Amino acid sequence: MSEKNLRLAVIVGSVRQGRFGPVVARWFTEQAESHGQFTVDLIDLADTPLPLDLPPLPPALQPEMDRPAEMADLTRKIAGADAIVVVTPDYNRSFPASLKAAIDWHYTEWQAKPIGFVGYSGGSGGLLAIEQLRQVFGELHAHTVRDVVSFPRYYELFGPDGTLIDPEGPNGAAKAMLDQLLWWGSVLRDARRDRPYAAA
């Protein structure tokens, strides 16, 4: 991998027992690695305790807030990423509580970075969750790219071994999103280096 590669964090947002997220995330990680312009870090939120009881002051008011020690690796990976992809299902027309907790425990780590989405569900393909996440990340001064990857009725699209039955369409969608992440990620990485971002 070139040192000029963007550091891409791929976050598995669901921690539910029996979840399908890791299968989708592994597929997308393979797409990102084969793209050739990214160094990929796969983050599974199931590996990190995510307390729902946040401190009295939000991260926006205390950037150096004390987090549980077990969260240090997650925080380091988000902070070190140049671009981020969230892999999410729809739960009751929204995104998982685990993902909201991971987002809310951080603030500056998301700022001035591009965010992409890979959604999956039995109906909308994760699009309902993705539209809500766009609002959340906008509040955190992140930039969500336009194109997404969506898997409606995902259980019909992947074989028992976790590979796509008909990969052409999803592979093309992944490349389109990765190209956008590459452009925005490169521009914003250079901008953060040359002129540190200061949120209002």
200 residues of the chain, pLDDT tens digit each? 455 899 999 999 999 999 999 999 999 999 999 999 999 999 999 999 999 888 887 777 776 778 889 999 999 999 999 999 999 999 999 999 999 999 999 999 999 999 999 999 999 999 999 999 999 999 999 999 999 999 999 999 999 999 999 999 999 999 999 999 999 999 999 999 999 888 65
35-44 pLDDT, tens digit per residue, is: 999 999 999 9
Bridge partners for 118 per DSSP:
87, 149
Q: Is residue 162 part of a domain?
A: yes
What average pLDDT is seen over the chain? 94
Could you give the CA distance from residue 149 to residue 126 in angstroms, rounded to a whole number? 9
Q: Is residue 60 part of a domain?
A: yes
Q: Is the distance from CB of 41 to CB of 10 less than 8 angstroms?
A: yes
Residue 131 corresponds to which amino acid? Answer: E
Q: Is residue 199 part of a domain?
A: no
Residue 28 is part of a domain; what is its CATH number?
Answer: 3.40.50.360
Q: What pLDDT is recorded for position 89?
A: 98
Q: Is residue 2 part of a domain?
A: no
Q: What pLDDT is recorded for position 67?
A: 87
Residue 62 corresponds to which amino acid? Answer: Q
| Number of domains the chain contains | 1
DSSP state, residue 84: E
CA nearest neighbour of 138 among 116, 111, 118 = 111
Q: What pLDDT is recorded for position 63?
A: 66
Q: Is residue 87 part of a domain?
A: yes
Q: Is residue 200 part of a domain?
A: no
pTM given for the model: 0.94
Report the interhelical angle of 97-104 vs 127-139 (nearest 10°). Answer: 10
**Enclosing domain of residue 23:** 7-194
Q: Is the distance from CB of 174 to CB of 31 less than 8 angstroms?
A: yes
104-118 pLDDT, tens digit per residue, is: 999 999 999 999 999
Q: Is the distance from CB of 10 to CB of 85 less than 8 angstroms?
A: yes
Q: What pLDDT is recorded for position 199?
A: 64
Q: Is residue 1 part of a domain?
A: no
